[in-house]
Amino acid sequence: MNNKEYQKLVKKHTPKPKVGKNAAIAFFIGGLLGSFSELLQELYGLWFHMPRKEAGVLVILTLILIASILTALGIFDVAVAKVKSALIIPITGFAHSITSAALEYKTEGFVLGIGANIFKLAGTVILYGVVAVYFFGLLRILIMGG
Amino acid sequence: MIYLNAFLFCGTICLISQLILDNTKLTPGHVTSLFVIIGAFLDIFGIYDKFVLYCGAGAIIPITSFGHLLIHGAMDTASKLGPLGLAFGVFNLTSAGISIALVSAFILALILKPKH
């Protein structure tokens, strides 16, 4: 069996993800999370008499806290395996990556373990976000004057 | 109405990401980075502000809003200080999220053990 045939065989036996079902689940759960956040934002506005913008930040913080705690308890990974993107793309995925890195590298020590690895997965979001902002920001200043 | 918009916007973003993950070899890390860049890009022309206006928290929750918040903070200070303001303000609006995520992750790592 040459290499090409082997690749073919591997491809044939790799389980195909259920694309349609996964997409529908991601859409539905992601949408529910969006609506729930909107509800939370309006409730925060009512309870604390906050402007919408600050209430929005508080919603983000709430989701981050919930996601961190669920990650530490091991519930988040089970949920991600079921609903996929619906929990990775919202800010919960960001919190999950930081908390899971902190827990995973705890055994390697506080500085070389937790400290050095806490941004291991979330760092990519921050890096490319900041690089994009510098690039687009300068572009906007040059073209539109700010 | 805003609840429906929030549902549709957040759901669509998750749907697109799921389709990318299932049909290409990209990992969640690739997709989130891509979405942050798209969020920052959409904000150049103020398009993302419109999404936030009509979809409320549905547009604030996805990771695309991270890029939107980064560039908003940067442009706010850039309007006062010039191009150098980009450096001063880039984390202004996202610092709350990042710091809470870091502190809660640290405290949880202190008191709990990883589950596999």
Cβ burial of A131 (10 Å; 0-12, 13-18, 19+) is middle
Does residue B82 contact residue B32 with C-beta atoms inside 8 Å? Answer: no
Query: CB–CB of B13 and A30 under 8 A?
Result: yes
Given a cut of 80, whether residue A17 has pLDDT beyond it is no
Q: Quote the pLDDT of residue A46.
A: 94
Contact B62 A125 (CB under 8 A): no
Return the pLDDT at B115: 66
Average pLDDT of span A55-83? 93
Q: What gap in Å lies between CA A57 and CA A53, rounded to an integer?
A: 7
Whole-number pLDDT of residue A12: 76
Q: Which residues of B touch A68 (CB under 8 A)?
A: 101, 104-105, 108
Task: Tell me which chain A residues have a C-beta less than 8 angstroms from the C-beta of B43.
Answer: 136
Q: Which of residues 4-63 of B touch A (CB under 8 A)?
A: 4, 6-15, 17-19, 21-23, 28-29, 31-33, 35-37, 40-41, 43-44, 55-58, 60-63
Q: How far apart are CA A53 and CA A124, in angstroms?
A: 26
Strand partners, A90: B62
Query: Residue A91: beta bridge partners?
Result: none
Q: Which helix (H) or strand (E) holds B102?
A: helix B95-111
**Encoded tokens for B37:** 């860049």
- The first and second tokens of residue B88, run together, are 């001063």
Cβ atoms within 10 A of the Cβ of B23, count? 11
**Domains of chain B: which residue ranges?**
2-111
CB contact under 8 A, A121 and B9: no
Find residues 79-138 of chain A whose CB sits inside 8 Å of chain B: 84-86, 88-91, 93-95, 98-104, 106, 114, 118, 121-122, 124-130, 132-134, 136-138
Q: Quick one: pLDDT at residue B96? A: 93
What is the distance between the alpha carbons of residues A80 and A29, in angstroms, rounded to a whole number? Answer: 11
Tokens of B3: 């609840």
Q: What is the average pLDDT across A38-61?
A: 93
Residue A67 has a CB neighbour count (10 Å cut-off) of 25
Q: How confident is the model at residue A57 (pLDDT cuts 50, 70, 90)?
A: very high
The helix-helix angle for B28-44 and B2-23 (nearest 10°) equals: 130
Q: Does B77 touch chain A (CB under 8 A)?
A: no
User: What is residue A85's predicted lDDT score, i.e. its pLDDT?
Assistant: 87
Phi, psi of B105 (to 5 degrees): -65, -40
pLDDT at A6 over 90: no
How many angstroms separate the CA of residue A9 from the nearest CA in chain B? 18
What average pLDDT is seen over chain A? 90
Strand partners, A127: none
Q: Which of A39, A85, A96, A131 to mutate to test the interface with B (most CBs of B within 10 A)?
A: A85
Sign of CA dihedral B48, B51, B53, B57: negative
* Maximum Cα interatomic distance, chain A, rounded to a whole number of Å: 71
Question: Which residue in chain B has the smallest CA separation from A138?
Answer: B83
Measured CA to CA, the distance from residue B47 to residue B45 in angstroms comes to: 6
Give the minimum alpha-carbon distance from B49 to chain A in angstroms, rounded to a whole number: 12
Q: Which two tokens stand for residue B36?
A: 């942050």
What whole-number distance in Å separates Cα of residue A116 and Cα of residue A30? 32
Which residues, given as ranges, of chain B have pLDDT below 50?
none
In angstroms, rounded to a whole number, what is the distance separating the alpha carbons of residues A91 and A30?
Answer: 11
